[in-house]
C-alpha cells in the first residue's frame, strides 16, 4: 500500500503540474496573439513608443517560453524514464534494471525472513492464548467452555469447535462476566472478566494484523504486488501524462511560430523605417545642394 500510494501521489503531482503548464502555454499564446494585433495597429498608426513597449513585452514572453521549455524537458525526461523503467521491469523482472536498487522484493532473503518472522509471531501468540484459555479458563479442557482460537499457520493442530481470528472477539463476548465479584473474578468457570477480555481483544488485533500482512509479504516475495502496482500506474497515469506532454509540445510549437512571426514583422518594420529614413535624408540633401534660389534667375549687375 505504501508503494502504491506513493507512486500514485507522484503521478498525480506530475499530472497536476502538466495541466498547469498547458494552461500557461495557451494563455501565453492568446496573449501573444493580442500583442501581435496591437503591434500591427501601432505599426500602421506610426506609434513608435508603443511599438517598442510591445517589443519588450514580446521578449519577456520569449523568456517565459524558454523557462516553460526547460520545465517541459524536465517533465518529459522524468515521466519518460519512470514509465519506461516500470514497463521494462514488468516485462522482465529478472533483468538488470535501475529499479532493482529500490524494490524490496528483489532482496529475496529479506522478504523471506520477514515472512517467517510474521508466521512465528502469529503462531506463538495463538498458541499462548489457547494455552491460557485451556489451563485457566476451561480448567484443562479444550472442548468445553470458552472456544479456542484456530491457528491458520498450523491448521492440522486445530481442535474441534475453534473460532477463526476474525470472529473470535464476537464469539468470546457472551462469556464475559456481567457482574464480577469484588475480587474481579468470575463466579463460574469458563467465563471472562472485562479486563481479560480486553487483553484477549488486543492480542486478536495483533494476530489479525500479522495474518493480513502474510499474503502481502507473499506477494512481495515474488514481486507480484509490485508488478500489479506498476501495471496500474502505467495504465492509469503514464498514458495521460504522455498526452499532457504532447499538448505541451503543441503549445510550445504555437508559441515558437508566433514568436518567429513577430520577429519577421519586426524585421519588415525596421527595413521599411530605414528605407523611409534614407529617402528622407536623400531628399533633404538634394534640397540643400540645389539651394533655396537655385532655380531663380540671378539679378543683373548695375551699370
Cβ-proximal residues to 105 (8 Å cutoff; 6+ apart), any chain = 111, 220, 221, 222, 223, 225, 226
Q: Which of 25-39, 124-138, 173-187, 248-262 has the highest mean pLDDT?
A: 124-138
Q: Give the Cα separation of 246 and 244 in Å (integer).
A: 5
For residue 92, pLDDT beyond 60: yes
* 121 vs 59 pLDDT, higher one: 121
For residue 285, pLDDT beyond 60: no
Predicted pLDDT at 4: 44
Region 147-174: mean pLDDT is 81
Beta pairing partners, 192:
176
- Grade residue 19 by pLDDT with cuts at 50, 70 and 90: low
163 three-state secondary structure: strand
Region 232-261: mean pLDDT is 69
Q: Which of 8-12, 87-91, 163-167 has the highest mean pLDDT?
A: 163-167
Write down the residue that cell numbers 512481495 correspond to.
220
Predicted pLDDT at 291: 52
The burial of 109, by beta-carbon neighbours within 10 Å (0-12 exposed, 13-18 middle, 19 or more buried), is given as exposed
- Grade residue 1 by pLDDT with cuts at 50, 70 and 90: very low
Distance from the Cα of residue 291 to its chain's centroid: 79
Work out the mean pLDDT of the chain and round it to a whole number. 70
Region 273-277: mean pLDDT is 67
Comparing 85-94, 183-192, 263-272, the range with the smallest average pLDDT is 183-192
* 42 vs 303 pLDDT, higher one: 42
18 three-state secondary structure: helix
Region 203-221: mean pLDDT is 79
Give 102's Cβ-side CA count (13 Å radius). 10
Region 184-208: mean pLDDT is 77
Comparing 5-9, 16-20, 71-75, the range with the smallest average pLDDT is 5-9
Region 118-138: mean pLDDT is 83
Beta pairing partners, 259:
none
Predicted pLDDT at 72: 72
Amino acid at each position: 500500500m505504501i508503494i502504491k500510494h506513493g507512486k500514485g501521489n507522484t503521478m498525480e503531482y506530475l499530472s497536476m503540474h502538466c495541466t498547469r503548464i498547458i494552461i500557461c502555454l495557451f494563455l501565453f499564446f492568446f496573449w501573444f496573439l493580442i500583442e501581435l494585433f496591437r503591434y500591427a495597429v501601432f505599426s500602421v498608426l506610426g506609434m513608435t513608443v508603443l511599438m517598442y513597449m510591445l517589443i519588450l513585452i514580446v521578449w519577456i514572453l520569449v523568456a517565459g517560453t524558454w523557462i516553460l521549455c526547460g520545465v517541459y524537458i524536465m517533465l518529459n525526461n522524468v515521466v519518460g524514464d519512470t514509465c519506461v523503467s516500470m514497463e521494462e521491469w514488468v516485462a522482465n523482472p529478472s533483468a538488470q534494471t535501475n529499479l532493482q536498487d529500490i524494490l524490496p522484493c528483489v532482496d529475496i532473503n529479506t522478504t523471506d525472513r520477514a515472512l517467517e518472522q510474521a508466521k512465528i509471531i502469529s503462531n506463538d501468540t495463538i498458541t499462548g492464548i489457547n494455552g491460557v484459555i485451556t489451563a485457566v479458563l476451561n480448567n484443562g479442557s479444550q472442548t468445553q467452555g470458552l472456544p479456542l482460537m484456530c491457528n491458520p499457520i498450523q491448521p492440522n493442530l486445530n481442535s474441534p469447535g475453534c473460532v477463526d481470528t476474525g470472529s473470535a472477539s464476537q464469539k468470546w463476548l457472551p462469556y464475559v462476566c456481567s457482574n464480577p465479584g469484588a475480587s474481579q473474578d468470575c463466579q463460574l468457570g469458563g467465563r471472562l472478566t472485562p479486563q481479560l477480555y480486553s487483553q484477549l481483544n488486543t492480542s486478536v488485533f495483533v494476530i489479525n494484523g500479522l495474518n493480513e500482512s502474510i499474503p502481502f509479504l507473499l506477494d512481495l516475495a515474488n514481486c507480484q504486488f509490485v508488478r500489479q502496482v506498476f501495471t496500474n500506474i502505467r495504465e492509469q497515469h503514464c498514458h495521460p501524462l504522455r498526452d499532457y506532454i504532447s499538448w505541451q509540445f503543441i503549445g510550445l510549437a504555437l508559441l515558437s511560430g508566433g514568436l518567429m512571426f513577430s520577429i519577421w514583422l519586426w524585421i519588415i518594420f525596421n527595413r521599411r523605417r530605414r528605407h523611409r529614413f534614407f529617402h528622407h535624408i536623400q531628399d533633404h540633401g538634394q534640397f540643400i545642394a540645389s539651394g533655396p534660389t537655385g532655380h531663380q534667375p540671378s539679378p543683373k549687375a548695375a551699370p
